[in-house]
Chains A and B, each alone.
Chain A
């Protein structure tokens, strides 16, 4: 029975950890939205900033991927 409770705790923890992905979603959406509004104001400058856009998205996304990793670790590795 104790093992089952530990199992349950793992799954609950994994579910909680995936909430971090919401933060990554907010961050990526923020970056993309701000890029778009800036690009609509000054379309000629937009292509030069594509690299910065992707780097920003990558940085924001990495933190979400961390929480996904935590979830996977809880599910499969702990």
Chain B
């Protein structure tokens, strides 16, 4: 790493683990306006196509005895349906298409992001923040719409001693507003960290000659872990959405 100083002067490391996240226009080199088709557009479109292929094309035959694709689609349907019903309650089923949308988008994006040379849209804070803010706003608005000011009783823990309640209310309030932050950072951070680690190891592999078998083996192992993380983070984001929705639509549980 003799060239570190020069590299710093150029504003980066020798290994560029963050290059993979750069948003580029698909055509030309113009500035990125809000409507410019970029690699974000491309990979989101691919995610949409995957969702359509899985949920629409494979269920085209409406078979009583399902084909392989149809049983996967039914598996997802049953899995999310049960999750919404169990966690958010029966009232939460009104939000089932919404939760399903969020889950399928995140799941497909995570999986697509693991294809080498691809671009993982869910590793961007902009994307996850919008997803999390949508959940936050939905929960808040639906909560106030359905329960009125009774929604605020969520912060007033009536089972605690009276003297502790204001303190608990403050803590609950802060944790309520931290929710969208942690909700989005968890997903984006996990994805970003995993991809960056793989990239760093790949940089080692490029620099180590014959000994690069070691980083390549490590990349393989981390790749397996990342597959797990991609699925688990989609699951976690969805189940937390359901947990937050329960506050808005479920019975008071304090």
Contacts and interface: CB of A to CB of B under 8 A. Distances in A.
B248 interface: no
B236 A54 contact: yes
Given A7-B8, A51-B87, A68 B193 contact: yes
B243 A55 contact: yes
A14 B253 CA distance: 41
Nearest to B192: A72
Contacts of A61: 186, 190
Given A7-B8, A68-B193, A76-B18, A55 B186 contact: no
Contacts of A66: 182, 185, 189
A24 to B, nearest CB: 11
B126 interface: no
B240 to A, nearest CB: 6
Interface in B144-199: 182, 185-186, 189-190, 192-193
A76 B239 CA distance: 32
B86 interface: yes
Contacts of A58: 186, 236, 240
Interface string A55-73: 1011101110110110010
A68 B239 contact: no
Secondary structure type dominating chain A contacts = helix
Tier of interface size on chain A? 10 to 19
B185 A55 contact: no
Contacts of B225: none
B186 A54 contact: no
A69 B232 contact: no
A69 B190 CA distance: 10
Given A7-B8, A62-B182, A66-B182, A51 B83 contact: yes
B235 interface: yes
B203 to A, nearest CB: 15
B80 to A, nearest CB: 12
Contacts of A65: 182, 185-186, 189-190, 193
Interface of A: 7, 51, 54-55, 57-59, 61-63, 65-66, 68-69, 72, 76
18 contacts: A7-B8, A51-B86, A51-B239, A54-B232, A54-B235, A54-B236, A54-B239, A55-B236, A55-B240, A58-B186, A59-B182, A61-B186, A62-B182, A65-B185, A65-B189, A66-B182, A69-B189, A76-B18
